[in-house]
């Protein structure tokens, strides 16, 4: 696909809706690894096992996103919403660029998670802090003329909206 087709900038709203879908798909990606982990630890919940669960989620999601972004620039949710992550002047994202983008993407929630830990917030308060963190990070798009989020600006990547697929013409039967 030519880079000339990749000039449309998706709206912030479209990208945020895609992220909601991405979150749901993330749970699906985590299901089997967590099932195996829970069977292996017999469902125990010690503090060290909780940290292992967090590390497992971080690594599995990282493998998923880094692989998808470096392979063709799209996850399943991004394909559904016709979004693609590109690096101008490059055919595809390198593994390194995709990995840095993944790490920086955690800035959507990491500051709020740390604040929740420091302030000892639980349940709804912690969820509210994460929601506020997501809202604040999404506002970084308005600091950029192309409405790119800060993690894309820092990695030199950008989200673009792909054109709708061409509709197949119905074959006219020969008479």
pLDDT in tens, 21-80: 999 999 999 999 999 999 999 999 999 999 999 999 999 999 999 999 999 999 999 999
| Beta-ladder partners of 161 | 8, 83
Residue of 166 and 131 predicted with greater confidence: 131
**According to the model, what pLDDT value does residue 6 have?**
43
Q: 68: which residues sit within 8 A by CB, 6+ positions away?
A: 74, 75, 76, 78
User: Tokens representing 25?
Assistant: 């798909």
Asked whether 71 and 97 are in contact (CB, 8 A), the reply is no
The DSSP secondary structure of 110-162, one letter per residue, reads HHHHHHHHHTT--HHHHHHHHHHHHHHHHGGGGGSTT---HHHHHHT-EEEEP
Q: What is the helix (H) or strand (E) element at residue 96, kind and residue range?
A: helix 95-105
Q: What is the mean pLDDT of residues 76-94?
A: 94
CA–CA separation, 57 and 53 (whole Å): 6
- pLDDT band per the 50, 70, 90 thresholds, residue 1: very low
Determine the 3-state secondary structure of 37 from DSSP: helix
How far apart CA 81 and CA 134 sit, in angstroms, is 20
Tell me how far CA of residue 21 lies from CA of 16, 25, 82, 123, in angstroms: 9, 6, 13, 22
In this prediction, what percent of the chain has a pLDDT beyond 70? 95
């Amino acid at each position: 696909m030519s880079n000339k087709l990749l000039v449309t900038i998706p709206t912030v709203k479209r990208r945020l809706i895609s992220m909601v879908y991405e979150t749901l798909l993330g749970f699906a990606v985590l299901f089997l690894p967590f099932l195996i982990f829970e069977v292996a630890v017999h469902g125990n919940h010690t503090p060290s096992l909780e940290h292992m669960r967090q590390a497992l989620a971080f690594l599995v999601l990282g493998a998923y996103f880094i692989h998808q972004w470096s392979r063709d620039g799209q996850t399943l949710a991004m394909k559904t919403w016709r979004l693609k992550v590109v690096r101008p002047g490059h055919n595809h994202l390198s593994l390194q660029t995709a990995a840095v983008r993944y790490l920086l993407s955690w800035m959507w929630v990491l500051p709020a998670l740390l604040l929740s830990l420091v302030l000892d917030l639980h349940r709804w308060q912690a969820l509210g802090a994460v929601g506020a963190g997501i809202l604040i990070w999404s506002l970084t798009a308005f600091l950029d003329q192309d409405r790119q989020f800060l993690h894309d600006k820092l990695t030199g990547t950008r989200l673009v909206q792909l054109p709708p697929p061409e509709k197949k013409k119905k074959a006219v039967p020969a008479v």
